[in-house]
Every structure is written in structure tokens, then in C-alpha cells.
Amino acid sequence: MTTRTGQARWPIFLTGLLAALLPVFGAAAAPHSPPDRLERVVILSRHGVRGPMSTPEELGRYTKLAWPRFSAPPGILTARGAALMTIMGRWYRGRYQAAGLLGTDDCSVYLWANHTQRTEATARALADGIAPGCALPVHQSAQAPDPLFDAPLTPLAPPDPARLLAALSARVQGNLAAWDARQRPALDRLEALLLQCAQMPCRAEERARVARRLDETPVALRLDAKGGVLLASPALAVGSLAESLVMAYADGRDFAGWRGIDSKTIGSVLPVYGAALDLSTRTPEIGRQSSSYLAMRLLATLQRGARELVLADPVGNDEKIVLLAGHDGTITMLAGLLGLNWHLPGYAAGEAAPGGALVFELWRHGARGEPYVRLLYTAQTLDQLRYMAPLSAGQPPAIATLRLPGCVDTGSGCPLRSFTAHVLARVAPLAASR
């Protein structure tokens, strides 16, 4: 009995001893798991604050009071707009230095801009913040328009007006007039601000005081005489006004005599603009026919060095950060193609804010693990723009983390292989379905 009892206790003693020592020796013996590493970033930025595309006189036909005067001609990046982009660039620099991507005096940044003054100046201003003192060249296409921004040049998604018309019609259940009617309450809110009405909707006599009214645009969804798609309605016609309102506020312009001009009020009248953007630029077929070439080039840039089959030319020359400066449609149409959604405080849903950007971060698990993509949309808030607020890790711009439809998110982001499959399926859905 004594022997059996001792034999029974011996394994118990060993078990307890091993349990006590295992964490010590196990921790020493287990290989250290290296942290995930950021390898490359692609920033697709809209240009910064510009002069409105319409003159104050043209815009003033829709308003009770005079429209603010800008410091720059129509379509030109303002001085404040350039300074704001440099502020944003400094924030990118701080973010990617903290992530270990950029060194102290790192100039590994590649710039590409569309053929307009506002995009070229935006690229330079961002570079002044991201890579100060580096004197980086702004690269551009030898052809104009630049196929990255303006021309669908991929056989995977050739222009097809009939297919586009069918896609738009499906988005509105075949009745654009009914879709427009559903936007009327949001349209009334915008009109009440422009006309400075005491109540909403504006009374008939208040609406009669302006030269042009928002409801004068006829509803149309058809192929025009040239074979293109004609898409028009009162709600779809608010783009220039909403954009100019945002740009004027962001540029610090004086709304002399206007009531209720602050970021909260402006944000409250933008939903109709968001609905217009969603239909007119974020319909996936629009993105497929206009942004497939851009999507393939972005994909190739992320794939560089990742042991993936590259199906297009990358942008840049293996720089750590690739920055492309385009327009609002550049961002919203690509987002529509990929199925990306965001809603930053103070803006319309899916709005491409002045200087805002879609950001694609390529990370790798450990030293040789699987690469994955983190996606985000970021932009300075309206008040950060108006008051030129400094940005930092503690006071960042507004940021939305994006989820890719159908991607099996590992908790860190979308595996690059899943991201690749998603892009290829969206660019050529007919081929993918065969």
C-alpha cells in the first residue's frame, strides 16, 4: 500500500513541477512572433479647397443673399487649400513614421496628379507635409486626358451606355421621378438655407424671390442624341451648390448676412447631395466603366513584391508611399466599383470631402506571413478646414475604417488574395460569372 501510494504521488509531483516550470522554459523556447509590418501605402486623394466651378453671380441666382467671394478663380486651389493639404500631409507623415514605414528623412514617396492646376498643386502641398525638403517631382500622364482619372482604357470594362442605363434604372426601380420625390424633404432643407426661409418648406413668395429654383430641372433618364446617358432631376442638380457651400465654408469665406452658417447646419443640408452622389457616381456599373483601369493599377501597386500575379503596371517605382491626386468623382466612382461606404461627421454619406482620401495600406503578418490590406477613408472635418486646425495623433482628422464586401476579414484587414479576387470580380463581373 505504501509503495502504491508513493508511486501514485510521484507522477502528481512531476506534473506539478512541470506545470510550474513550463511557462519559464516554454517562454524561452517558443519563437518570438514578430509584429505585423506595414510595407506600402497608396493614398488616393481628392484635391484640396478650390474656387467654385461657378461664379458667385451664377450661384447667387439660387440664393436670397449674395454668394461669398473666393480668393481664387473657378477651379483653382486656394492658398488656404494648399496650406490645409500640407497640414494633412504632416499628419500622414506622423502616422507612417509611427507605424515604422517612413524614416526621419525619408523621401520614398511617389506623386502622380491629374492634368489640372488644383490636382498638381494638391500633390505638391501634400508632399511638403509628407516629405519636407525632398523636392519630389509630380508625375503625370503623357496623354491628356489621363487614363487613370478620365478615360476607361481597359478591355475588361468597355463603355456600354445601354448597360449603364439599365443599371441606373434598376437603382431607381425604373422610376427616377419617384426617386426624386423621396429626396424632396432633404432638398427642402437645402433650399431653406439658400433662401434663408423662416420655415421649411419655403413659402411660395420666398421661393419667387430668386432667379432660379432647385425644382426647375426636368426629370430625365434615357440615352441622348449622341448615345450617352442623360441623367437629370432636381435632386441631382444640387451638386454645384452643395460643393460650393462646403468649399466656401472650408476656405474661411464670409457669408455676410447669412443665418445658420456653421458646420452643423451645413452638414444637415447635405443628405440630398449624398443621395445624388450615390446614384450618379456610386452606382457600381458607373465605376466599372470609368474606374476599372484605375482599380487595376492600384491593385498592381499593392501587389508589387507580394508574390502575386500582377495584371497591370504598378504606379511608381517601389516607393513606400504612392500618392495620387484626383477629383471627387475619382474617389466616389472607384468606391462605387469596389463597394466601399463611409459617412464622416458633417458631410454627406459617401461624400469625397476637400482633401479627403481613400487609403490602401499593405501590411504583412510577421516577417514572411500573408499580406493583407487595410482600407480607410480620411478627411479633415469642416471645422478643421475652416479654422486650419493642426493635426496630430491626439487630434486626427476624421477617419472611417472600411470593410470590403465579401472579404473574409481576419481581424487585421482583408487578405491581399481576397482583395485581388474582389477587384477582378468587380472589374469584370461577366467574366467572373462564367
Question: CB-based contacts of 416: which residues, under 8 Å, 6+ apart?
Answer: 302, 303, 306, 308, 362, 370, 371, 372, 373
- Residue that wins the pLDDT comparison between 21 and 411: 411
- Strand duo 371-379 + 414-415: pairing: antiparallel
| pLDDT band at residue 16 under the 50/70/90 scheme | very low
pLDDT of residue 428: 81
Element (H, E) at 42: strand 37-46
| pLDDT band at residue 384 under the 50/70/90 scheme | very high
For a pLDDT cut of 90, what percent of the chain falls above it?
78
Q: 27-41, 55-69, 83-97, 217-231: lowest mean pLDDT where? A: 27-41
Domain 37-432 annotated CATH 3.30.2350.10: no
The answer to whether the CB of 318 falls within 8 A of the CB of 310 is: no
Question: What is the distance between the alpha carbons of residues 225 and 210, in angstroms, rounded to a whole number?
Answer: 32
| pLDDT band at residue 118 under the 50/70/90 scheme | very high
| pLDDT band at residue 129 under the 50/70/90 scheme | very high
How far is C-alpha 350 from the geometric centre of its chain's CA atoms? 8
pLDDT of residue 229: 95
How does the average pLDDT of the chain come out, rounded? 89
Q: Which residues of 110-128 are buried (b: 16+ CB within 10 A; e: fewer)?
A: bbbbbebebbbbbbbbbbb
pLDDT of residue 124: 98
| pLDDT band at residue 151 under the 50/70/90 scheme | low
Question: What is the distance between the alpha carbons of residues 404 and 373, in angstroms, rounded to a whole number?
Answer: 10
pLDDT of residue 31: 55
pLDDT of residue 409: 67
- Residue that wins the pLDDT comparison between 63 and 23: 63
